[in-house]
Structure 1
Amino acid sequence: MRIIAAALAAFLVLPGVASAAPGPADSAAADSGQASPDATRSHPTGPFWQLKPTATDARLRGLSAVSSQVAWTSGSKGTVLRTTNAGRTWESVGPPGTEALEFRDIEAFDARNAVVLSIGEGESSRIYRTSDGGKSWQEEFRNTDPKAFYDCVAFFDRFRGLALSDPVDGKFRVLRTWDGGRSWHVNDTKGMPDALPGEFAFAASGQCVTTAGNHAWIATGGGAKARVLESRDGGRSWKASDVPLPSGEAAGVFAVAFKTPWRGVAIGGDYLKPTDPTPAFATNDGRGWKAGSQAPVGYRSGIAFRGNGLVAVGPSGTDTSRDGRSWTVADTGSFDTVDCVGNTCWASGEKGRVGRTSQG
């Protein structure tokens, strides 16, 4: 997301987007006979997130929940944080000498092993790996192609993973690893469909690539249509499908999550319109993408399955759903990304903000 990465980082720290008051959109919905978004959503009765102070002002867009006790998060200023006690304390464990890098995604396997990705043009896109809880890091990949801009990373298991770049010469570029991130190889583009004009991936929450089983999905925006690219063979070949979400220079699918290869969701919107009530949520049952019957109000950059339910986050709040059909406003604070393990969810975002919840 080379063109608007800086604009995205700057815009989403602006104040005044924590809640949306009723306005013209609500009146228009009523005139059309449709329920306004707030009419189909309940509101919080108590705090959903327990905030876990991190002692940093970095924007934390990368997040990996290992357990109810262990989580890693990463972000601006070369920041990587780790907790092993449910967020009571955090260790700053980022690679030395990386203060100029933006670590937009992190994938952790346990309390000791993790892979972190930095975004940017040319050599700013890098991948580091640690096997001792961040005491030491090895740089395993540095991009040397000025046309590439890596956005996010995901793993099928402890050994096989993918890293995604915006299109290079008209096609999305994918790196693959088979050894837990120790080495990375550019995937053959013969199995990759052509990118649309202006199409890219959003490096907003580390969720533009996800995996389940041997399947993988890439979320896109920026073009005339929002799309998700799917691979059923571990990332070797891909097929593109249109997704019924708004798309444009600042809009599209920002995050995808799959509980199984046949049950997934996509969410996004327009980050320049963080409280726009235009629905931006879709579901997939293995047979294609369909618009959700309801959706969180406003732009959402992150989503995760929590059991059979869902948690979605964005700059204007957090929404939860038990079934993917009806949604509840759970919190009005700003977060960029969310990850859940078991019944415990973690969220992170601007100014070092991290939350944890294990409530129902």
Structure 2
Amino acid sequence: MREQVTEARRIVVKVGSSSLTTATGGLDASRVDALVDALAATQAEVVLVSSGAIAAGLAPLGLSRRPRDLATQQAAASVGQGLLMRAYNDAFARHDRVVGQVLLTVDDVTRRAHYRNAYRTLRRLLDLRAVPIVNENDTVATEEIRFGDNDRLAALVAALVHADLLVLLSDVDGLYTGDPALPTSRAISDVRSPDDLANVDIRRPGKAGVGTGGMVTKVEAARIATTSGIPVVLTSAPQAARVLAGEEIGTLFHRLRERPQARLFWLAHATSPRGRLHLDAGAVQAVVRRHASLLPAGITAVDGRFAAGDPVDLVDVGGVPVARGLVNYDAAELPTLLGRSTLELAAELGPAYEREVVHRDDLVLL
């Protein structure tokens, strides 16, 4: 038995469209019921991140396949989201469980105030013994639909609610070294470090006809979660009950470190940089090796339009991001400060300019 699973007190489970719907669209009630039965059987608190709104809306609208244009995708999501929630509500009601719908967009995980508010909502639902069902708000969002999958969202939600485990349910029963259909591919039961993925080909597309995710997004989600101290199990949806019971099936991604501060995790994984600060070699060493604050003297150039308090990437002489931080100056202010010491700036411009460009407490290494 896997202790990481049996000892988990709060679990985030993500299920893809292909695990809930038929190949032509429309919800498969038997699949929904089987998933809910597995979730209801566990003693842990459960947050369900569920795809399927667009897929569920295809058949009622007479669409034979997932549309490519954004307006029709949003129309399908508008119809399908209600159907999806009704199916979950009916299935969980058989277990005397109440469900709550939580629709999120990129802003809800990239803006700090929204991020905190999402946490309070999810936390309160769990306190009231309800099952939060999270999905991207496809009816109004654009970037999420183009990104096309809830795997990354599930990893961010797992960190947001301080989960003990993330379970990714797909149409394959685990991670393989190549295409599972090929006899040369080997199943991988444990991933303990990035080195274990060195010879794994995850570039193949997903098999689902109505889903959009592939193995790449699931491995990336596992990376986000495990670097925030959360182990991940990847397997197929029909195996959900066995996985949640602790059986050693599927692929277990072991956590890579202890849980970091929530604020630093948010900065590293849930923000989008508004600009870039180019550092000289000395500044890179100071930030990366000595964990020092970034001063104006070590910056050689500034890209982007940002305001004080926005996240920016700190890049080395080759343009590779080495850190991300919250900047203390507007983009328009910085060009006149570059290469100058804080003492020089304070003497010429006043004590307000003696501050760091990015303080080390507002900085996370990438």
Normalising by the residue count of structure 1, what TM-score does the alignment of the two structures yield?
Answer: 0.25
Name the structure with the higher helix share.
2
Name the structure with the higher strand share.
1
Normalising by the residue count of structure 2, what TM-score does the alignment of the two structures yield?
Answer: 0.24
